[in-house]
Chains A and B, each alone.
Chain A
Amino acid sequence: MTYQEIDVFKAHLLKYRKGDLIIKEGDYGVSIYKIVKGKVLVFSELEEIEIPLATLGAGEIIGEMLFLKKSIERRTASVRAIEDSDIEIWHPNMLEKEYEQMPPVMKYIANQALNRLVRTSKLVVQLTSKRKKEKEVINGDLWAKKRRFYRKKMEIAFSGRQITSLKKNLLSGYITDISLGGVGLEITNIKINNNPFKADDEFFIKTLLPNGKDLEFHARLVSIKEGKLPGMPFFGMSFSDLTDSARKDLGFFLMP
């Protein structure tokens, strides 16, 4: 039995539900994915705007960039299932041997296509964000759309302060849900008709996760609506600055 035949290199099949995130831009990850059934959206995030790059279906490969280009270290785009999808996961070791034997001319063409794809995708991001900025008004809908990550319901106290103003406006209340994209906050120290904050204000927020980890982050106010407490507001916020270690702690906390 040769090394290649050992079962560890068998592809695994995973099932994703519509809306699930498969790859997150900026993450470390080495797997390559083949779409067996379903549809996925490849997108990039620029200043919290989602920029669609491609819609891919059965037979297409994603996540191959890190394999082909060893100088790329992190995922260059995010991928989300837009239909229930079956996806085959390949460990890069499965391909390594085949790649070594790949004729140089094919490697050359693959690398050229890859470089051009990276360049073209950047151009798509630039052009789209230019267009979106001209049109887009921040509103609650957008906030909801941007937070399709898995959201964990919770109820833990937080404290915060505004960082985009010289007045040290304080904020307190409790977090009702949290995801890798942002938080939902029930505010207890400000009445809705007396609210000094507006969309795009930035805050420093601190809380203690139920697993005992401190969590600190910067977040931007995206939507304001009436909260569960009479006369009190609910703030939808998306993270504007989350350190790698905070993202990791949050990731562990969010694991189902």
Chain B
Amino acid sequence: MSIDEFIYAFIAKEENYQDSDSIIKEGTSGDWVYVVLEGKVKVKKMTSKGLLVIDTLKEGDIFGEMILWQSGKGARTASVVADGAVKVGVLDTGFLLKEYERLSPRLKDLMRSLIKRLGEATQKVVTLAVESN
């Protein structure tokens, strides 16, 4: 998937990572939002039975966006680790939040609800995976 041009307008800087490097660490604070520019990353969650891979993201995928809809300073809900050499774009969170604030109240509701449900569904997968192992 190619990266749409409008995404580039939001990239504040680019970062390179080597295989297995940690990009986001679960539980830490941080408000950057990222986009995968080259390569792949793995999304992992800590469970009672160790680290569980919950998703693999590729070029064009955004991660860390949950932070946008957490009021105040939220902690990262998952870890993101490089799967091979990766180049990511770091998006300007302030700029993104401004765009979000410009949305109509209904679209704001819709976005917030969507992201929240994604977070809950992910948590559910983790619980189920741990139980069934």
- On whether the beta carbons of B118 and A117 are closer than 8 Å, the reply is yes
What is the interface size of chain A, counting residues whose CB is below 8 A from a CB of the partner? 37
**Cβ contacts under 8 Å, A131 to chain B:** 128, 131-132
CB-CB under 8 A for A105 and B132, given A60-B113, A99-B107: no
> What sequence of 0s and 1s flags, for each residue 90-124 of chain B, a beta carbon within 8 Å of any chain A beta carbon?
00000010011011101101111111111011101
- On whether the beta carbons of A104 and B132 are closer than 8 Å, the reply is no
What is the interface size of chain B, counting residues whose CB is below 8 A from a CB of the partner? 36
**Which listed residue, A103, A110, A130, touches B132 by the CB 8 Å rule?**
A130
- On whether the beta carbons of B114 and A124 are closer than 8 Å, the reply is no
Q: Is B59 an interface residue (CB 8 A)?
A: no
Nearest chain A CB to B16's CB is how many angstroms away? 23
Smallest CB-CB separation from B62: which chain A residue?
A112
**Complex alpha-carbon distance, A105 and B125, angstroms:** 28
- On whether the beta carbons of A121 and B121 are closer than 8 Å, the reply is yes
CB-CB under 8 A for A105 and B102, given A60-B116, A61-B109, A127-B128: no
CB-CB under 8 A for A112 and B117, given A95-B106, A130-B132: no
- On whether the beta carbons of A120 and B122 are closer than 8 Å, the reply is yes
**Cβ contacts under 8 Å, A105 to chain B:** 6-7, 9-10, 96, 99
**Which listed residue, A94, A95, A127, touches B125 by the CB 8 Å rule?**
A127
Seen from chain B, the residues whose Cβ lies within 8 Å of a Cβ on chain A are 4, 6-7, 9-10, 55, 61-62, 65, 96, 99-100, 102-104, 106-107, 109-118, 120-122, 124-125, 128-129, 131-132
- Can you list 5 A-B contacts (CB < 8 A)? A53-B124, A61-B114, A105-B96, A106-B107, A106-B111
Other CB < 8 Å A-B pairs besides A103-B6, A109-B62, 14 of them?
A: A32-B110, A34-B109, A59-B109, A60-B113, A61-B110, A98-B107, A103-B99, A103-B102, A105-B10, A112-B65, A119-B55, A124-B125, A130-B132, A131-B132
